[in-house]
Structure 1
Amino acid sequence: MNSREEIDRIVFYSKEDGGATSHNLIKAEKLLSNFDSEQIFTFNDLFEFYNIKLHFDNDLFLTKWNKSDKERYNQIIEKTWATLKDRLIKISDQNIEKILNDLGYNYKKKLLGVNQ
C-alpha cells in the first residue's frame, strides 16, 4: 500500500452508520481486490484492514459480493489481523513514540480515545 492520504483511509464508525458504511465498503473492495501479501504494511495500513474487519464482524458487506468474494476477503482480513496482533505485541518503550507519531489522526484518535 502506498502512503495514502488519511482521508482515503477506511474507518469503522458504527453498525448504524449506513452512509459511511457503504462508502467505506466500496473503498474496502478496491483495497482487498488489489491486495499484495508481499507488501510491507505500516500500522496505518494494518489498522485500515482492522477497520474492514470491524465491518465484517458486524455482518456489513456490499450486497453485490457473493459467498466466494466474502470468503476471499475474509481470508485477507484474517491474515492482516494476525499481522497486526503480531506487530502490536512487539511494541516496546523504545518504539512506541515513533509508532504513535506515524499513526494517522483517525487511528490515533480511536486508539487514544480522543474525541472529535
Structure 2
Amino acid sequence: MTDERAFALDRYIAATDRAIADGAALEELLAVFAPDAVVRIGPAPVRGSAALREMYGRLVASHAESRHFCTTTMLPDGRERTEWVCAARMADGSLVTMAGVEHAIVDADGRIVDLHNEFSRPPG
C-alpha cells in the first residue's frame, strides 16, 4: 500500500504504528529512509540501512501496540517538524506514554536523510 501523505514525518510515524501492529510492515517503515540516513533518537546517532533495520527491529519487538498523534509543518529552511505524542503497550504488557519534537531533512525522493528527535516526555 502506498501512503500519499505530503510529509515524510507523517509517513514515518504512521509506518511505525503499522510495523508495531504487524512486524511484516517493518520494510514499509525502513523505506521512508534514504539508504545512508542518520537517525538521532537515543544517545548515539544510527546511520545506514543495516543499523536502522537493527534499531527499528528492536523497537518493533519491544512493543505490542502503539498509537501516535502528531502535527507536522514545513519550516522556512525546508526541514519538516512534527510535535508528537504516543501511548503504547509494551511486549511485557506494561503501558507507556511519551512525547517529543522531531525534525527531518528530506531528499528529492521524499525520503528522510536526517531525523532528530527530542523527547519532551521520555518513555515511561
Structure with the bigger percentage of helix: 1
Structure with the larger RCO, 1 or 2 (CA within 8 Å, 6+ apart)? 1
State the structure with more CA Rg.
1
Which TM-score applies when normalising by structure 2?
Answer: 0.28
Which TM-score applies when normalising by structure 1?
Answer: 0.29
Structure with the bigger percentage of strand: 2
